[in-house]
Amino acid sequence: MEQVMNTRLSHSFDFHGAALEALPSGSLFWPDARLLVVSDLHLGKSARLSAVGGAQLPPYETRETLMKLERDIEATAAQRVICLGDSFDAPEIEAALREDERLWITRLQAGRDWTWIEGNHDPGPVSLGGAHRDALVIGPLTFRHIASEATGEVSGHYHPKARLSARGKSLSRPCFLVDQKRLILPAFGAYTGGLFCCRAPLSEMMGYGAMAILTGARAVAIPMPR
């Protein structure tokens, strides 16, 4: 498949010797490894909330997330995919997905090396195909759900976002956070919410000189708001 990713809209940066691309959608692409990384899809969130009588979300949130994921896979021609945990909103909730949504996931997996990293919402193996791991090391990088003290670590969990003020107006964007030790991805799923990076624990975890890479129409890097 021909790679059609628009690199003018992504943000390129080096992390522990790996040349990476932060995509405007919130996914991470490692071209040399042909690897796409996403975090916190929270598939099945609307089904879980409906089952427990919680807030009602549009029933198409899983489809919206899968559509965005499919676009990024096609644009990057990724041959490997890592989902960094909380891919599903609750244990065994994948069984509650519609059949066409489960088939959609199977189609995206076909011909690709696919890894589900365990998260706090989905701590055990899921019934769909792919490998299931607590963490995965590829070259200089370690992929896991929740950041530890390891160096060269790519994680998710916190759903980071940044608040900006300009011309008297305030806006917020989901964002990547990166410093000399760790890289934290934004939540990729629709309707997932987020934690402002100026608040603990993100403000305490990220080191001096940390950058926030904002998602949106294009990926833009700024000093992390404190």
- Contact by Cβ (8 Å): 222, 211: yes
Where does the pLDDT of residue 219 fall: very low under 50, low under 70, confident under 90, or very high at 90 and above?
very high
CA distance 46 to 50: 6
Residue 52 has pLDDT above 60, yes or no: no
- The alpha carbon of residue 140 and the mean position of all alpha carbons in its chain are separated, in whole angstroms, by 19
Residues 134-156 as b/e (b if ≥16 CB within 10 A, e otherwise) read: ebeebeebbbbbebeeeebbbbb
Q: What is the pLDDT of residues 154-173, one digit of tens each?
A: 999 999 999 988 777 888 99
* List of residues 6+ apart from 157 with CB closer than 8 A: 39, 40, 85, 86, 119, 120, 145, 146, 147, 184
Tell me which DSSP letter residue 162 carries: E
Q: Residue holding tokens 């003020």? A: 165
Percent of the chain with pLDDT over 90: 71
Q: What is the pLDDT of residues 77-132, one digit of tens each?
A: 999 999 999 998 776 677 778 889 899 999 999 999 999 999 998 887 778 899 99
Please, what are the domains in the chain?
11-223 (3.60.21)
Q: Which spans in 110-181 are helix H?
A: none
Where does the pLDDT of residue 64 fall: very low under 50, low under 70, confident under 90, or very high at 90 and above?
very high
Residue 188 has pLDDT above 90, yes or no: yes
pLDDT at 51: 47
pLDDT at 124: 75
More confident residue, 95 or 196: 196
Both tokens assigned to 139: 């070259």
Q: Of 10, 24, 8, 21, nearest to 175 (Cα)?
A: 24
pTM, entire model: 0.91
pLDDT at 47: 57
